[in-house]
């Protein structure tokens, strides 16, 4: 891998000095850098016309099936989330609606080695009694888990959100219960944790669809909307952090009794609406999106925000089910995938390759920029500006959780 990074640095230096460097040379160098990168995809039923067993596959970055990843009988139910374990092992953690992996007990969560075997570092035991929807490692390496479960390893006090230690045990200093499903978890720069979902109370505090938790497991009452029964009026599906500010995407239409905050909002560290991100007037019904937002992805280098879901309009303008928004909330005119009625369907997952900026978009997409695509579930590869590069021949119910990882 040292050679790969050297090649990347050489290309970047050449470009910065405006020296001659052909596009093919750049692509060759980037190809070497990406040689050990793979993309995992969940809830897959078919690849290239052939049935897939076990709901999970691994692909090369150009969409070829990686046959070195052998999962045997795999999972016996749907994948909801995939999380890389960034400890050098190349392992992933998978959560979802399953109870077995390769014929072994895996209660809605499993850690999988790069070979496809169950990792020797899987310490989840019998796991959870219901779906796992969200996974996140915090800055201290502890694993946060959200979902619809009401017990973990037989412990009935673990309710829909928990934090576990490296040995798989529940963190005794972090006991947080929500009254309905947790769909998303995110950590702020100052070590606080947002959870979003379908809940209305957390630890007996009114937290309508969003809550912020301190590192000791108590509800952060300094966050506007906590304790007063306001906040959102419907589900929060995803959360991404920009320093101590946060973007929220979901099925909501209002925030803190302010109407027409449809599907997307940016909040500052105190929970107040960030006026710099303009989704339209609260007095105008078509502000924001016309349908639910399912997934968000923030490009930290540009602060542009990718948004995926079932949308058809944004601030009254026809849009695709994937758009890119500038930091001020306007549509990015460079991103060609923003365009309109020529793209139809629903987006369930977005992964971005950081070196090339290429996007892997999962969902049920019937047409993309006028090109007909099967609506039974597809994985699209786009360039950094949203132009279609490849339709990867993957189908599912639907395809979810595209996740890029670098193998050891």
112 in the same domain as 3: no
208 in the same domain as 76: yes
164 in the same domain as 19: no
pLDDT at 306 > cutoff 90: yes
Q: Which residues contact 51 (CB under 8 A, 6 or more apart)?
A: 45
Torsions phi, psi for 98 (to 5 deg): -145, 160
Spatial CA neighbour of 77 closest among 58, 90, 59, 94: 94
13, containing H or E segment: helix 2-16
Q: Residue 356's pLDDT is what?
A: 92
20: three-class secondary structure by DSSP? coil
Where does residue 20 rank: exposed (0-12), middle (13-18), buried (19+ CB within 10 A)?
exposed
Query: Within 13 A of 252's CA, how many CA atoms are on the CB side?
Result: 28
140 in the same domain as 21: no
354 in the same domain as 328: yes
Residues 186/189/191/197 CA torsion (nearest 10 deg): -20
6: three-class secondary structure by DSSP? helix
**pTM for the model:** 0.90
96 in the same domain as 24: no
Between CA 208 and CA 201 the distance in angstroms is 7
Between CA 159 and CA 182 the distance in angstroms is 10
| Greater pLDDT, 53 or 378 | 53
Band (pLDDT 50/70/90 cuts) for residue 223 is confident
Q: Residue 25's pLDDT is what?
A: 52
Write the CA distances from 272 to 14, 226, 231, 291, 404, integer angstroms.
45, 12, 10, 23, 33
330: domain CATH number is: 2.130.10.10
pLDDT at 238 > cutoff 90: yes
276 in the same domain as 215: yes
44 in the same domain as 29: no
Residues 203/187/363/284 CA torsion (nearest 10 deg): 80
pLDDT at 34 > cutoff 90: no
Q: pLDDT, tens digit, for every residue of 239-282? A: 999 987 999 999 999 999 888 899 999 999 999 999 999 999 88
Number of domains in the chain: 2
| Greater pLDDT, 14 or 45 | 45
pLDDT at 58 > cutoff 70: yes
Q: Residue 173's pLDDT is what?
A: 83
The domain in which residue 311 lies consists of 38-406
Q: Residue 19's pLDDT is what?
A: 45
Tokens found for residue 95: 């959560």
Band (pLDDT 50/70/90 cuts) for residue 399 is confident
Mean pLDDT lowest among 25-34, 119-128, 356-365: 25-34
Spatial CA neighbour of 255 closest among 247, 265, 246, 245: 265
Spatial CA neighbour of 76 closest among 49, 108, 39, 28: 108
Q: Residue 13's pLDDT is what?
A: 38
231 in the same domain as 253: yes
pLDDT at 227 > cutoff 80: no
* Residues 340/369, Cβ–Cβ less than 8 Å: no
148 in the same domain as 14: no
132 in the same domain as 25: no
């Amino acid at each position: 891998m040292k050679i790969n990074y050297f090649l990347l640095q050489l290309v970047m230096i050449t470009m910065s000095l405006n020296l001659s460097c052909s596009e093919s040379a750049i692509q060759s160098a980037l190809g070497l850098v990406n040689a050990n990168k793979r993309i995992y995809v969940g809830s897959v039923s078919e690849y290239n016309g052939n049935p897939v067993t076990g709901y999970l596959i691994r692909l090369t970055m150009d969409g070829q099936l990686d046959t070195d990843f052998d999962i045997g009988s795999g999972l016996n139910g749907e994948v909801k989330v995939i999380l890389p374990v960034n400890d050098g092992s190349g392992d992933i953690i998978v959560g979802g609606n399953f109870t077995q992996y390769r014929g072994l007990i895996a209660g809605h969560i499993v850690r999988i080695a790069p070979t496809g075997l169950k990792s020797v570092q899987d310490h989840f035991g019998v796991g959870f009694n219901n779906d796992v929807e969200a996974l996140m490692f915090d800055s201290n390496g502890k694993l946060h888990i959200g979902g619809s479960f009401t017990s973990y390893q037989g412990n009935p006090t673990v309710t829909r959100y928990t934090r576990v230690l490296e040995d798989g045990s529940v963190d005794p200093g972090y006991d947080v219960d929500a009254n309905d499903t947790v769909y998303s978890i995110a950590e702020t720069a100052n070590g606080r944790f947002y959870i979003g979902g379908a809940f209305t109370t957390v630890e007996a505090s009114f937290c309508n669809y969003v809550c912020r938790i301190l590192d000791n497991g108590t509800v952060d009452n300094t966050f506007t909307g906590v304790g007063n029964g306001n906040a959102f009026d419907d589900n929060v599906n995803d959360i991404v952090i920009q320093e101590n500010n946060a973007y929220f995407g979901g099925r909501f239409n209002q925030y803190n009794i302010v109407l027409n905050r449809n599907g997307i909002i940016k909040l500052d560290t105190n929970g107040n609406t960030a006026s710099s991100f303009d989704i339209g007037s609260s007095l105008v019904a078509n502000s924001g999106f016309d349908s639910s937002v399912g997934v968000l992805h923030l490009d930290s280098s540009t602060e542009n925000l990718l948004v995926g879901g079932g949308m058809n309009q944004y601030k009254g303008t026809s849009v695709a089910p994937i758009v890119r928004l500038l930091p001020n909330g306007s549509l990015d005119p460079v991103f060609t995938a923003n365009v309109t009625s020529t793209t139809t369907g629903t987006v369930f997952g977005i992964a971005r390759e950081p070196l090339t900026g290429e996007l892997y978009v999962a969902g049920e997409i019937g047409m993309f920029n006028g090109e007909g695509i099967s609506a039974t579930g597809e994985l699209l590869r786009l360039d950094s500006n949203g132009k279609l590069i490849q339709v990867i021949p993957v189908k599912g119910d639907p395809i979810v959780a595209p996740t890029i990882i670098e193998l050891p």
